[in-house]
Structure 1
């Protein structure tokens, strides 16, 4: 278990910006969870309301769409939206309707292109850890392999926002724990269902990965995503704890539920070369949280607000359409926010302004997700059993994404 990430060096955004955000039409910076006057929100489902409003920002007025989720309501929960496999993607509306969610937003940054590695296909796998219904799906890629803007100082790709088994939302870190054991040989596991493995490591791929090629996992380095693919690779397939095949090149295709594929690069490849057909091999993996919390749901991204204060080093110049999660009322309330990508608003806001916007809703913790063309918020209209897209995605249509945050109501 790793120590809890220290974000105590955060500083406040300028008072002027907070004041401007606090004077939005109908907005109030009253107590946590008191995001706005009650009559400015419309009901989506029991414990879930929706609101849209203009937000003054450095680049001009932008427009926010927000779902306000009351986790004290026993009929409501927040969970991961995903296509059923880690290395896959779908539209947020399709994910929400497929999982019977009443609303949701897009999730983590993901491996969307591979122009720097000719001949290698993108996996569309997300950057950070992911947990769905208490099941660990994947761990985080090395920091240098991350897609997306630079993270605040003191944070890394292990950062998550999620809901613990205690029903409280929180920010945390999730670190991979795991081993590969063969006879008296024991190797530390360096990755789980992730598009990039640390240099010199061994990673595990399970049925949750999907059919995408595992070759991408051996490309780039811990410091730079665009570095060349490794020339030293080895793959071992383990079925029912027995080695059933080996290969010098990572493969692709579906992985059976009783099977784990081990991929090694550099020193990790040399270790796997010692594995022989028929050998008994045991693979163990999991995620340990920095706080010791057990998560029912978690998704990766970038923290921007902690303990009621914006983190130090948030970008104050680059503006774009953004998506974020805010947490208020001691983890009992969640705000899902996506900016509008319509032509009148698509300049968006800075990350520092995003943190302040979450504060104006009553959030004390905030977490930035993938933005730009990915930013999407969906919710069910009154009386409907299917969601509709409430903002205008800046691509003109919904982008296919690797995962999202869904709201479910019984």
Structure 2
């Protein structure tokens, strides 16, 4: 937490900044309790609180804040369903038993925004647990046992939905009740149950709900055009695509017996309908994890544990839809909010009903900026990338009249600063683009030649601004197309002080065009403010026979040409930086499994395996299980890898298949931290093959390999078999003489001789640590009060409380801290907010 405490009651004003490692980071007046529902941004300090127009009646609010339970980053998408240009529908990755990134599904469908959807059969079929209705059509039912659902009707009313289905298969002169349609049924199919799959299911195994059932209790029949095509009298149930004009019935027990009586050519029909009349009016629906707001009130007993979260809510009688995500730094469980906080935020926004959707690594919000034609991920998924989710909720806008109604000026690709603002250094360039939208705020093409550009205090040609060498402050750039006008404020920073690159070294494995790498060049002024540097301002010196370098979207695209090395020197504004580049690798065998392998390696599998010394290496025999692998018997037995390899490979014979991305190599990095990387697939066979592992660019070298695993998360695909491990290879980059490291530069904020600078613009700082205000022992505040009194006598301009301001981070501790500081004559002003005029010292008064 950082709070500025500003004193105007004494002759010497004192500015106090509070920074704490405790989790309580809100002022007591903003702290909340369960019986006091907070505003959407409750307590804490909002570092970001912005609103963005996405479409007609569609707004995205972004809030990044620090509250008493830690950091969270929230996005609230509000959708006016009463707007005739706005619609919603289910987003899917394709077949029911599949998954994919939400952004891909949204852009394929043409959505302007969306969030991830239902919980799903992760690690297996990937099918959603609940039912799915897309564009008014039932795609699947919930798993047997039922699920709660939510959706939006064809006339734009968000509501809770009953997706109960009456489904029947008729054959052999009788109706047979069907328990589920295109459902994974991971919890199992009950005895004598009958289920059905259509072409919408995909090619995944239909045996997911029958894995614990004997094969003699299972049978299935393929029906096409109302006639039996084939009967499979025993399990397991099959896999593979189903014809569009067909379906497959899978039976257990008595249902399997009935299926076995069928013959090719026998008539079989399948029919179903939604049981609830209201459900028949639904445009889209999906399952959810429970209602968290009902009648505008937070439901009791909600989970308070911290994790990324996703929710869907509605208000105004269902005419306003709210889609929201909360996440935070780190992986699942290391950032976000509790479901209770999720519900309080929505209730404070006036949401009448809200449900919890899938969270954790699935939490994803995508949205399309005005004028753009692609939606992008707006939050930071905790897996580090988008998870392959089965479905989501999409928001759509119908195409407008195509006439330019509004002009927009934006930074060109790669030209925006890290904080989203537009900045430039004196004497350098900044590229801008003009975009437009029509009456529905959908993109309209703006031809560059039609735009008239102008700027006050600088020159601008074809959208590219050049700041004068002596200019600082703000430049307003104007664009006009016909009668439409827009402008963009551009901040001119102080002079360029140093140049930084997005990569410190490039090692490219092979000289192929597809291995091209992009590097961003960023400048920083003496105050620490940054801005990207336009490639046209750069002077480049390198071996043109080794790489080709071209500007692409504000960055440098480096394409390898031949196996060699070069030093790229980048110069701009009297500053320079160097980037070592190597192309090509040398393959080295770092370990042969020809030593005492039985002593060096231990089993690291789901269950017991059998190790043996094979003439070709280490042999592992195993039963069907999820994970099969090895781990080093001790730290001394780990395999040391020389240099800084790009890739590692395990040469192996495998009698089973392992999916791509589920071979795994464990290692310890140069910092002693345990890590791992997933690799390429293995195919069942008697030949040697490689599992290849590409190390992250952030790897701290040297590394030591500690283990290997082959993994298959699909129970139906787990087989008994054997591995024979032969050797581990490393692809080590071509060597190059690295440039000398530049001498350290002094920080102007640090005095190396203890002498403080003096002058009108200098500041003096004092620090105070471990004040630890605790309401249980208020007498301890005397220590802090005495310390602040002593500090005042030195007349500092700024006092930083830099750790453990409170003992436990409880609201009552913060209340005590506020009381002590204000009693001492201090005003508390949150960092990032403008203090009141009467609390700001007038420098003229001294």
In the TM superposition, residue 292 of structure 1 has moved relative to its aligned partner by 5.1
Within the candidate set 201, 204, 210, 2:202 is matched to: 210
The residue number in structure 2 matching 1:112 is: 122
Among residues 162, 170, 190, which one is paired with 1:199 in the alignment? Answer: 190
Aligned to 2:137: 135
Cα offset, 1:282, TM superposition: 1.0
Cα distance in 2 for residues equivalent to 1:127 and 1:245: 29
Q: Provide the rounded CA distance (Å) in 1 between the counterparts of 2:71 and 2:45.
A: 16
Which has a greater percent of strand? Answer: 2
Distance verdict in 2 for CA 1:311–1:19, change over 3 Å: closer
Distance 1:292 1:299, change over 3 A: closer
Aligned residues: 356
Q: Is the 8 A contact 1:173 1:290 kept in 2?
A: no
Q: Highest Rg: 1 or 2?
A: 2
Aligned equivalent of 1:53: 63
Unaligned runs of 5+ in 2: 1-32, 399-846
RCO comparison, higher one (Cα < 8 Å, 6+): 1
Alignment match, 1:300: 287
SS at match of 2:70: coil
Q: Could you say which residue in structure 1 is the equivalent of 2:99?
A: 89
Aligned partner of 2:35 in structure 1 is: 15
Give the corresponding residue for 1:31. none
Give the equivalent residue in structure 1 for 2:221: 236
| Cα distance between partner residues in 1 of 2:205 and 2:279 | 34
Contact 2:274 2:280 in 1 (8 A): no
Alignment of 1:4-403 (within 5 A): 14-16=34-36, 18-19=37-38, 21=40, 23=42, 40-54=50-64, 59-113=69-123, 122-143=124-145, 157-196=146-185, 198-200=189-191, 201-219=193-211, 228-231=212-215, 232-247=217-232, 248-249=234-235, 250-289=237-276, 291=278, 294-302=281-289, 303-316=291-304, 318-343=305-330, 346-403=334-391
Shift of 1:361: 2.1
With structure 2 as the length reference, what TM-score do the two structures score?
A: 0.40
Normalization by structure 1: what TM-score? 0.81
Superposed CA RMSD: 2.3
Deviation at 1:307, TM superposition (A): 2.1
Alpha carbons of structure 1 residues 203 and 377: separation in structure 2 relative to 1, 3 Å: same
User: Distance between the aligned counterparts of 2:268 and 2:207, measured in 1?
Assistant: 22
Q: Report the Cα distance in structure 2 between the residues aligned to 1:262 and 1:57, rounded to whole angstroms.
A: 53
Cα displacement (A) at 1:56:
6.2
Q: Structure 1 residues 207, 347: CA separation in 2 closer, same or farther (over 3 Å shift)?
A: same
Is the 8 Å Cα contact of residues 71 and 328 (structure 2) preserved in structure 1?
A: no
Gaps of 5+ in 1: 1-12, 28-38, 114-121, 144-156, 220-227
Residues 290 and 26 of structure 1: is their aligned pair in 2 closer, same or farther, counting only changes over 3 Å?
farther
Distance 1:20 1:205 in 2: 46
Q: Which moved more, 1:244-253 or 1:48-57?
A: 48-57
Q: Deviation of residue 22 (structure 1)?
A: 6.2
